[in-house]
Amino acid sequence: MYQNSLDDKISAYIDSLFSGVGGSQQLFDLKEELAVNLKEKTMDYQTQGMDSEQAFKEAVISMGDLGGLVDDMRKLGQDTARQSLYSTMAARISSAGIVGGVLLTLFGIFVSAIIYFQDYSPMEAIGPGIFIVAGGALTAYSILTRETSKRYAMNKIRAAFYALSIGLILFSLFVSLITYFAEGEMYVAIASLMVFFLGGIGLFLFLILTETDRSKIKE
């Protein structure tokens, strides 16, 4: 309950600080960074014995004068050419990541199929599946860091954690198959699956439950 209240308070403060500033990917990223810093400072002051209101006020004061940042974002919001260049470069990087991730995934699938139909052991055929794990994680990261007409790109650190969670889930399947064909025991394969799968699912659920609104409708 308190956590939601603090998040709402921080969001309202930052929104009011940048009210009237045109929306942009750079502004969205800056707001997220400021929100994280403000939250950390507030919680630090609370550990020093301050109540929630005083801790928040002290955190705001400790951030200093943000007028320069507001002016910079206001100018950027009016500079459509600069925004377009930034978005185009980011889109190209994201596109390259998506293409690379999909190709890695397909490469892993095709090589596994080739090995399997050459009458090698199932465990040898599963080996190239590691490319599927890497490709899936890279694709997820590249999609999440891609700005669209309706949503801003996700923070790169947060997107990396999403990619890690996807990678852990895929890796758990990879390891369980390797273990099953190596040991021939299903319970050993399930135990191998459980270790990485639970970590990946736990991280994924945490990220989903703490997700922020990236919609451009509010801007």
Residue 39 lies in a domain: yes
Residue 119 lies in a domain: yes
Residue 198 lies in a domain: yes
Looking at the structure, tell me whether residues 196 and 131 fall in a common domain.
Answer: yes
**Structure confidence at residue 82 as a pLDDT band (50, 70, 90):** low
Looking at the structure, tell me whether residues 51 and 97 fall in a common domain.
Answer: no
Looking at the structure, tell me whether residues 71 and 163 fall in a common domain.
Answer: no
Looking at the structure, tell me whether residues 30 and 122 fall in a common domain.
Answer: no
Do the beta carbons of residue 80 and residue 26 sit within 8 Å? Answer: no
Lowest mean pLDDT among 48-62, 67-81, 140-154, 177-191: 67-81
DSSP annotation of 151 reads: B
Residue 216 lies in a domain: no
Do the beta carbons of residue 56 and residue 9 sit within 8 Å? Answer: yes
Looking at the structure, tell me whether residues 202 and 162 fall in a common domain.
Answer: yes
Lowest mean pLDDT among 2-6, 73-77, 130-134, 209-213: 2-6
Check whether 87 has a pLDDT greater than 80. Answer: no
Residue 108 lies in a domain: yes
Residue 217 lies in a domain: no
- Which of 78, 105, 136 is a domain's end point? 78
DSSP per position, 93-148: HHHHHHHHHHHHHHHHHHHHHHHHHTT--HHHHHTTHHHHHHHHHHHHHHHHT---
Quote the domain boundaries for residue 57.
2-78
What 63-68 contacts at long range (C-beta under 8 Å, 24+ apart), as own/partner pairs, is: 63/34, 63/37, 63/38, 66/17, 66/34
Residue 17 lies in a domain: yes
Looking at the structure, tell me whether residues 105 and 199 fall in a common domain.
Answer: yes
For range 195-215, the mean pLDDT:
92
Residue 162 lies in a domain: yes
Q: Which residue has the higher pLDDT, 57 or 104?
A: 104
For range 89-97, the mean pLDDT:
91
Q: Mean pLDDT highest for which of 3-12, 17-26, 198-207?
A: 198-207
Considering the entire predicted model, what is its pTM?
Answer: 0.79
Q: Which residues partner with 215 through β-bridges? A: 151
Looking at the structure, tell me whether residues 89 and 159 fall in a common domain.
Answer: yes
